[in-house]
Amino acid sequence: MGRKASFICQLCGKDAGSIAVIDNDHVRLHGLNDRTEIANSEAFKAIDNSDARALYHLNEEYVSFYCPRCDCFYCNEHWKKRVLFDDGFYDATYGECPAGHERRMDD
Ligand SMILES: [Zn+2]
Ligand SMILES: [Zn+2]
């Protein structure tokens, strides 16, 4: 236990998010959303290495505040977020990083 990767904002040094192993099949996400997700040994290895890029490629929602083009994290305040609705229902959240890169943060 205690396996966790935490990431800080490139601009202000504040907490941007984290991902922690909770049991053999799950991780706990903290960031845009706090929730539990399914994970596998590849994800656990990436957490041990604090490898955000690997986590992003496994599941982009593992690291919702990571910008793959900047290869760094930004906190909640530094992402410009856009929530999309489809027929009145929540569809997805997109974000633009301070350098102007857009990514899907949640879906
Ligand atoms: Zn960026
Ligand atoms: Zn920040």
- Secondary structure string (H, E, C) spanning 57-69: HHCHHHHCCEECC
Split into its structural domains, the chain has a count of 1
Domain extent, residue 8, equals 4-75
Whether residue 88 is contained in a domain is answered as: no
Whether residue 90 is contained in a domain is answered as: no
Full pLDDT tens readout for the chain, 107 residues: 579 999 999 999 999 999 999 999 999 999 888 999 999 999 999 999 999 999 999 999 999 999 999 999 999 999 999 999 999 999 999 999 999 999 999 98
Distance separating alpha carbons of residues 13 and 21, to the nearest angstrom = 23
CA of 78 to the centre of ligand 1 (A): 11
Whether residue 39 is contained in a domain is answered as: yes
**Coil, strand, or helix at residue 70?**
coil
DSSP state, residue 25: T
CA of 71 to the centre of ligand 1 (A): 7
CA of 49 to the centre of ligand 1 (A): 22
CA of 16 to the centre of ligand 2 (A): 7
Side chain identity, residue 87? D
Whether residue 84 is contained in a domain is answered as: no
Whether residue 99 is contained in a domain is answered as: no
